Amino acid sequence: MESLAKYRYSLVAGSFAAAGSFFGKLPSHLSARKLVNASQTTADSTYLEIALIQVFPLVLMVICNVCNLRCFLKALQMTEQTLTCVVLTSASNYVLSFILGALVYREPLTVLSGIGITLILAGLWFLCDGGTVESKKPDKIE
């Protein structure tokens, strides 16, 4: 648990990056699903429909990306190695994007994507473990 607290900003930055990607794809998903009565022509659409389908998700995407950068910079300041911060942020982004894509956008789940996510999570586990293996020192003989 200590390792997760140490790298919390990296994981939060990855979460914001995944949310930014999610909100960036949302307008095209809503238009394709016709969840809101969006007309085909711009002249027939109301301003509320345009705001709900196009503008609001894009504003949320920009906010998430700004928060992503802020948390990423904070994570870079807190970690000892910048590589650890970058890998944790990217990996958490990939895993959360995979989960959101499968649940919300109904993207297909393949064996290859399952193996990839498993390898990413295994790599995160080894990276965050921090090598806490204690070495046994022989007792001094006096």
In one letter, which amino acid is 65? N
pLDDT for the residue 40: 53
Q: Give the separation between CA 115 and CA 45, rounded to whole angstroms.
A: 44
Q: Give the separation between CA 5 and CA 104, rounded to whole angstroms.
A: 29
pLDDT digits (tens, 9 = 90+) for 54-95: 888 999 999 999 999 999 999 999 888 888 899 999 999 999
Question: Residue 41 above 90 pLDDT?
Answer: no
**C-alpha 3: how far from its chain's center?**
18
